[in-house]
Structure 1
Amino acid sequence: MARIPTSGTQHALRAGDYEAVIASIGATLRSLTYRGRDLVVPFDADEVRPSFRGATLAPWPNRVVDGVYTFGGVERQLALSEPTRSHAIHGLAAWLDFEAVDKGSDHVTLTAVIQPQTAYPWRVVVTTTFALGPDGLTQTVTARNESSEPAPWGTGPHPYLVAGEGLVDDWTLELPAEQVLTVTPDRLVPVALEAVDASDPERFDFRAARAIGAVEIDHAYTGLTRDADGIATVRVTDADGTGVRMSWDAACPWVQVHTADKPDPALSRLGLAVEPMTCAPDAFNDADYDYDTGLIVLGAGAESAASWRIGAIG
């Protein structure tokens, strides 16, 4: 029997100038290239996935503050999977082994089940398709609630985009967002929505493309400007104008952007995390906030879907 790599079963896809590898653990985008150029920060097949790099996040993206939430009048305590900040981060699916149910040379469909548990007592089937085409790699995530009661739900991806040579500091960002969610500096607990040009435009306002430089960002944005088809697009480019774009529709009204700052300089700012999200950070505590968090309440037997695309510029 063939040995399974550390990151799970590998699904290699190819279409035109694009190639991608999907790892089954966490339905993870392990690598994506265009004409041999990395569009995301990759990792090795026989490596434990670094943090949430490329993972599919479900049944919530981002954080649940203190791991505590109330839904249907019942307070629940999630495991504190981000112990340094004492939060529950990025859901329950990131370390599940997804099974392939359909596969071709340019696509793969994977599925896993979030089983009922003390802190999340609903059975949700998560199915995701990765498909390569002329415009890049599209991922679609569909959830189906197989429980008899409504369930809170949210999803999103976690790629680290790569524009070209160098680090995040060397690249240009275009982020068409009017509002940013401010957070506490230590634990990143949501504070309030504000205009991107209100208190710190140098850090937060990238509506017009400009250099990222040394700013540090780990914030959610909303109020997204969209094209005639309702698509929002983030663009990250290098000095030559080549780079990568990520697009998504109204299913994701939020996007987390993170400059990937790490204590070890050799691992810091290697890529820009761009994470379209169906809901805001801490959306499981929707009632605590005076803005629309986008929390999805998935009825018994109901489905919800969201998708996004990563493609090359230049």
Structure 2
Amino acid sequence: MSPEFTLSAGGYTAVVTAHAAALRVLQFEGRDLVVPFPVGGPIPDFRGIIAAPWPNRIEDGKYIFDGVEHHTPVNEPERGTALHGLAFALDWTLKESDAASLTLSCTVGPTTGYPFVLELSASYVLDETGLHASVTARNAADVTAPYGVCPHPYLVAGSSPLDKWVLEFAADTFLEVTPDRLLPVSLAPVEGHEFDFRSPRAIGATEIDHAFTGITFDGGLARLSVRDPAGTGVGMSWDQSCPWLQIHTADKPAPIPSRIGLAVEPMTCPPDAFNSGTDLIRLAPGAEHTASWSIYAL
């Protein structure tokens, strides 16, 4: 079984697994802020993983980069896509840790469909204001590499059903997708749409598995809050390295438990960016890129 590491500070407790550098548990004063998953075994629904070197999907696992066609394995066969990168399948190595922080690292590639080499470092720090995380990628090869990243927590506002949670985040635009494969179609305004959460309102029966952009960054940070009518809540903030945000209401067919948390994924690029090139990071040899985010109790 892959090792895991427990952090605590300021009323917060976090458990991070070496496998996938995944956030398995995050609690404040004993209250879950993310949907946890059991010790050992596979990680369900990519909960808490670091999705790199691409977030979300690549259509057919195929892309062209600098004139060369690549084919990466399809791991979402029902939609025919390569989902959430490669780092989630790896055991990361502990670099340093103390009671309230740790740093894990791994090397991605070269491998089938991704003949590049990235050194990834994930940092988790707890203090009285919450969990602060970052991922740094360094291109360790001599050719430019395509890159994108996102975290994948499922936030928990409280004990009420997700339909009753009140969601707020400032994004003007969402990405319409194909209903069968969730691949990009076109951008559309949230104005007048059920995806408009620029003012706080209950999620209700709305089903979301879409990316948003046109995000407001106030003082360099974007913020999202989700609150339970019982009075608890959880917030997330992220920096301008992530101009995209995937939201998923975790809808599942019966008898699988459905809508048990809200996936909130600040992304450096949109779905299928390896094909569209939209906000795709071109990481030059020796260059680094860092994305940062925080999760905290409300």
Match of 1:209 in 2: 200
What amino acid is aligned across from residue 92 of structure 2 in structure 1? Answer: F
Q: How does 1:107-256 map to 2 (within 5 A)?
A: 107-197=101-191, 201-202=193-194, 204-227=195-218, 229-256=219-246
Match of 2:13 in 1: 19
TM-score, reference length from structure 1: 0.93
**Secondary structure class of the residue paired with 2:89:** coil
Distance apart, 1:266 and its partner CA: 4.6
Q: Which ranges of 4 or more aligned residues in structure 1 deviate by more than 2 Å?
A: none
**Secondary structure class of the residue paired with 2:292:** strand
In 2, the alpha carbon distance for the partners of 1:300 and 1:42 equals 37
Q: How does 1:256-275 map to 2 (within 5 A)?
A: 256-275=246-265
In 2, the alpha carbon distance for the partners of 1:304 and 1:62 equals 18
In 2, the alpha carbon distance for the partners of 1:9 and 1:47 equals 12
> Which moves more between the two structures, 110-119 or 92-101?
110-119
Runs of 5+ unmatched residues, structure 2: none
What amino acid is aligned across from residue 133 of structure 1 in structure 2? Answer: D
Distance apart, 1:264 and its partner CA: 2.9
Aligned 8 A contact 2:10 2:129 in 1? no
In 2, the alpha carbon distance for the partners of 1:77 and 1:10 equals 33
Distance apart, 1:66 and its partner CA: 1.3
In 2, the alpha carbon distance for the partners of 1:73 and 1:25 equals 34
What amino acid is aligned across from residue 305 of structure 1 in structure 2? Answer: T
In 2, the alpha carbon distance for the partners of 1:312 and 1:35 equals 9
Distance apart, 1:115 and its partner CA: 2.1
The number of residue pairs the alignment matches comes to 298
What amino acid is aligned across from residue 72 of structure 2 in structure 1? Answer: L
In 2, the alpha carbon distance for the partners of 1:84 and 1:258 equals 18
Distance apart, 1:168 and its partner CA: 1.5
Aligned 8 A contact 2:173 2:212 in 1? yes
Distance apart, 1:265 and its partner CA: 4.5
What amino acid is aligned across from residue 202 of structure 2 in structure 1? Answer: A
Aligned 8 A contact 2:73 2:112 in 1? no
Distance apart, 1:230 and its partner CA: 1.5
TM-score, reference length from structure 2: 0.98
**Secondary structure class of the residue paired with 1:241:** coil
In 2, the alpha carbon distance for the partners of 1:43 and 1:118 equals 29
Match of 1:281 in 2: 271
In 2, the alpha carbon distance for the partners of 1:185 and 1:171 equals 25
**Secondary structure class of the residue paired with 2:199:** coil
In 1, the alpha carbon distance for the partners of 2:79 and 2:161 equals 26
In 1, the alpha carbon distance for the partners of 2:162 and 2:266 equals 19
Aligned 8 A contact 1:167 1:271 in 2? no
In 1, the alpha carbon distance for the partners of 2:254 and 2:127 equals 36
**Secondary structure class of the residue paired with 1:188:** coil
Aligned 8 A contact 2:160 2:230 in 1? no
In 2, the alpha carbon distance for the partners of 1:167 and 1:42 equals 16
The verdict on how the C-alpha distance between 1:211 and 1:265 changes in structure 2, with shifts beyond 3 A counting, is farther
Match of 1:290 in 2: none
The verdict on how the C-alpha distance between 1:265 and 1:136 changes in structure 2, with shifts beyond 3 A counting, is farther
The yes-or-no answer on 1:61 pairing with 2:52 is no
The yes-or-no answer on 1:83 pairing with 2:68 is no
In 1, the alpha carbon distance for the partners of 2:40 and 2:90 equals 17
Distance apart, 1:135 and its partner CA: 1.4
In 1, the alpha carbon distance for the partners of 2:257 and 2:118 equals 35
Aligned 8 A contact 1:114 1:124 in 2? yes
Aligned 8 A contact 1:168 1:270 in 2? yes
RMSD: 1.0
Match of 1:301 in 2: 286
In 2, the alpha carbon distance for the partners of 1:119 and 1:46 equals 28
Runs of 5+ unmatched residues, structure 1: 288-292
In 2, the alpha carbon distance for the partners of 1:264 and 1:19 equals 32
